[in-house]
């Protein structure tokens, strides 16, 4: 299989976004497209193993570094900053990549191919905000490591916006970071004496993230405003469900503090049903936390997501 890196210029604010595409060797039997959206403090290369797995079954896989992440920055010091486009551009970037995919498929294969959109964590909220207007662009939606609805999100957004007005969106605030991230997730980190323990039972995967310079940055106020804004918009009215038969599946670790509980995930699924989507299901993995694509038994998750794509 081949890997291609290219740049997409965001139509929102002309920010260069770096994109990676993995294509199967046998291009005559391409079965579909999988577009991925990564989470907070991640970058596209973290998903290459999973992308190669899907490509081995005949799928073209495509992912971009989200704005403010990886190489989708004007300078490394800007990681965690969302630039002028902010949350709306974050969502629109995903749509623009989808449009690129369709155009590329027509040029390369002379036909449309089914598109599965997968999003992890912060990306799982962004892809649900995406379908509010663009659900006819895709055939399947995979929601991985989904944060459930938070009653504190509006308070967090008010705090972030207040600080931003005083200090500017590029500032990194320990207080905001504690309120939004550490207050909820630090308990397990303290218990296991390792930062990031809440994400994974696989300590080697946690250590690997700690050592990755593209993962170690702190979010700016701009980044937190984007994330808390997504968490509110995800669970807000305004979905049009132009594609009510869109297949949607949730994949979460049973011990994922983002999910909170199985009951909360069911509430997230019920929310989309009330918006008009009829084909929704969920899968929970016991003994796993937030980062299920890198857990010890990730092969089980890989197979289940592939099965969902092939249904």
pLDDT tens column, 241-292: 999 999 999 999 999 999 999 999 999 999 999 999 999 999 999 999 999 9
Mean pLDDT value of segment 167-180: 91
- The band of 183, judged by pLDDT with boundaries at 50, 70 and 90, is low
CB 168 within 8 A of CB 223: no
Residue 32 has pLDDT above 90, yes or no: yes
pLDDT tens column, 43-100: 999 999 999 999 999 999 999 999 999 999 999 999 999 999 999 999 999 999 999 9
pLDDT (0 to 100) of residue 188: 66
- The band of 310, judged by pLDDT with boundaries at 50, 70 and 90, is very high
Q: How far is it, in rounded angstroms, from Cα 146 to Cα 119? A: 9
- The band of 196, judged by pLDDT with boundaries at 50, 70 and 90, is confident
pLDDT tens column, 106-148: 999 888 899 999 999 999 999 999 999 999 999 999 999 999 9
Domains of the chain by start residue, with CATH = 2-149+239-310 (3.40.50.1820), 150-233 (no CATH)
Q: How far is it, in rounded angstroms, from Cα 280 to Cα 257? A: 22
pLDDT tens column, 210-254: 999 999 999 999 999 999 999 999 999 999 999 999 999 999 999
Which string of DSSP letters, residue by residue, matches the chain? Answer: -EEEEEEEE-TTT--EEEEEEEE-S-GGG--EEEEEE--TT--GGGGHHHHHHHHTTTEEEEEEPPTTSTT-SSSGGGTT--TTTHHHHHHHHHHHHHHHHHHHHHHHHSS---EEEEEETHHHHHHHHHHHHHGGG-SEEEEESPPPP-TTHHHHHHHHHHHHHHH-TT---HHHHIIIIIHHHHHHHHHHTSTTGGG-S-HHHHHHHHT-TTT-PPP-HHHHHHHHHHHHHTTSS----SSTT-EEEEEEETT-TTT--HHHHHHHHHHHHHTT--EEEEEEETT--S-GGGSTTHHHHHHHHHHHHH-
pLDDT (0 to 100) of residue 245: 97
Instruction: Please state, rounded to an integer, the average pLDDT across all residues of the chain.
Output: 94
pLDDT (0 to 100) of residue 116: 98
CA distances from 16 to 3, 6, 64, 185 (A): 19, 10, 10, 32
CB 122 within 8 A of CB 227: yes
Q: Is the pTM for the entire model greater than 0.85?
A: yes
As given in the structure block, the two tokens for residue 203 are 């300590």
As given in the structure block, the two tokens for residue 11 are 């139509």
CB 62 within 8 A of CB 115: no
Q: How far is it, in rounded angstroms, from Cα 137 to Cα 124? A: 17
Percent of the chain with pLDDT over 70: 98
Tokens 């905000």 locate to 129
């Amino acid at each position: 299989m081949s890997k291609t890196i290219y740049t997409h210029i965001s139509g929102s604010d002309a920010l260069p976004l770096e994109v990676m595409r993995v294509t199967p060797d046998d291009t005559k039997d391409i079965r579909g497209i999988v577009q991925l959206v990564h989470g907070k403090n991640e970058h596209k290369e973290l998903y290459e193993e999973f992308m190669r797995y899907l490509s081995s079954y005949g799928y073209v896989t495509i992912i971009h570094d989200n704005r403010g992440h990886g190489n989708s920055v004007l300078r490394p010091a800007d990681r965690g900053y969302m630039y002028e486009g902010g949350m709306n551009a974050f969502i629109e970037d995903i749509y623009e990549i989808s449009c690129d995919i369709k155009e590329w498929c027509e040029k390369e294969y002379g036909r449309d191919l089914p598109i599965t959109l997968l999003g992890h964590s912060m990306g799982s909220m962004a892809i649900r905000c995406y379908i509010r207007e663009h659900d006819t662009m895709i055939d399947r939606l995979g929601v991985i490591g989904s944060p459930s609805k938070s009653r504190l999100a509006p308070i967090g957004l008010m705090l972030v916006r207040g600080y931003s007005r005083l200090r500017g969106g590029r500032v990194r605030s320990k207080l905001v970071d504690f309120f939004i991230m550490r207050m909820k997730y630090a308990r397990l980190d303290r218990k296991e004496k390792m930062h990031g323990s809440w994400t994974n039972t696989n300590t080697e995967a946690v250590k690997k993230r700690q050592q990755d310079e593209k993962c170690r940055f702190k979010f700016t106020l701009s980044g937190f405003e984007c994330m808390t804004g997504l968490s509110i918009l995800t669970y807000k009215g305004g979905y049009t469900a132009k594609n009510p038969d869109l297949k949607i599946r949730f994949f979460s670790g049973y011990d994922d503090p983002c999910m909170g509980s199985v009951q909360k995930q069911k509430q997230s699924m019920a929310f989309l049903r009330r918006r008009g989507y009829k084909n929704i299901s969920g899968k929970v993995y016991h003994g796993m936390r937030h980062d299920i694509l890198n857990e010890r038994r990730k092969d089980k998750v890989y197979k289940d997501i592939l099965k969902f794509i092939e249904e």
